[in-house]
Amino acid sequence: GVAGGALAADTWRVATEGTFPPFEFYDSNTGELQGFEVDLVKEMAKVMGKDLKLESMSFDAIIPALISGTVDAGAAGFSITPERAKRLRFTVPFYRSGLTIVVPKANKAGIQDFDDLKGKHISVQIGSTSMAYAKKIEGAKVTTFASAGDAILNMLAGNADAVINDKPVTDYIRSRNSSIAENTIHLEPIATADQFAMVTTKANAKLSDEMSAALKTLKANGKFEELHQKWFGR
Ligand code: ARG
């Protein structure tokens, strides 16, 4: 029998990947999944009247999980791209971002801008827009990692000339890890004007619209601004 059990229809299954601070990441003390986007989906679930089931998986597994229907939505710092929009539906955007380059302090390869990355060894997070960007650079040797943090550590071990990553995440990693901050340079040029949004399949348009409506409610009632303040400061 189903007596006492929660109705499946009320459950909102959201996939994320927890190595993307301050959007979604694990607290090193409590081991708890936290972040701006984690807080956002929790608040959205309240507005939508649904029971949130947040599931962590590797970043490149999220879109296949959406397509196969094992999750309803993805909330993992997804950049809106025309390529993804062919198969997926994006909510209204919730954050403006862009890709930047981080190099080792010594910067032996003399990299100052994206044009300097031709033929260079670049480390990136698997399945990310950074990976797609790096793979289009002429002659670049691209190595993928489970997280941008791992890509940076690989570079600092001397195995890559540069890392491409989402700017706010590189900013956050450098602000919280003095060893990474001291041993890297975060270059100024921004490759693309990205917008982060949450994703569903196209078939799930109704859910996508509910999610967008919930985001708009949080923007209108001040909760969004409060959470933005919490994770990004002024
Ligand atoms: N914004 C980039 C993209 O859409 C990277 C997102 C990575 N997210 C994560 N939770 N690791 O591909």
The superfamily in CATH containing domain 8-95+194-232 is: Periplasmic binding protein-like II (3.40.190.10)
Residue with tokens 């080792």: 104
Task: For the chain, 234 residues long, give each residue's pLDDT as a single digit of tens.
Answer: 344 454 555 999 999 999 999 999 999 899 999 999 999 999 999 999 999 999 999 999 999 999 999 999 999 999 999 999 999 999 999 999 999 999 999 999 999 999 999 999 999 999 999 999 999 999 999 999 999 999 999 999 999 999 999 999 999 999 999 999 999 999 999 998 899 999 999 999 999 999 999 999 999 999 999 999 999 996
Q: Which of 129, 169, 170 is the best mutation target for the ligand 1 pocket, counting ligand atoms within 8 Å of the beta carbon and taking the most?
A: 129
Contact predicate 126/60, CB 8 Å:
yes
Ligand 1 centre distance from Cα of residue 5 (Å): 34
Ligand 1 residue neighbourhood (C-beta within 6 Å)? 17, 19-20, 24, 59, 76-79, 125, 128-129, 166
Q: Give the C-alpha separation, 137 to 102, whole Å.
A: 16
For ligand 1, the distance from its centroid to the CA atom of residue 145, given in whole angstroms, is 12
In CATH, what number does 99-186 get? 3.40.190.10
Q: Where are the alpha helices (DSSP H) in 11-85?
A: 36-48, 59-68, 82-85
ipTM computed for the complex: 0.98
Question: Which ranges in the chain are annotated with CATH 3.40.190.10?
Answer: 8-95+194-232, 99-186
| pTM attached to this predicted model | 0.94
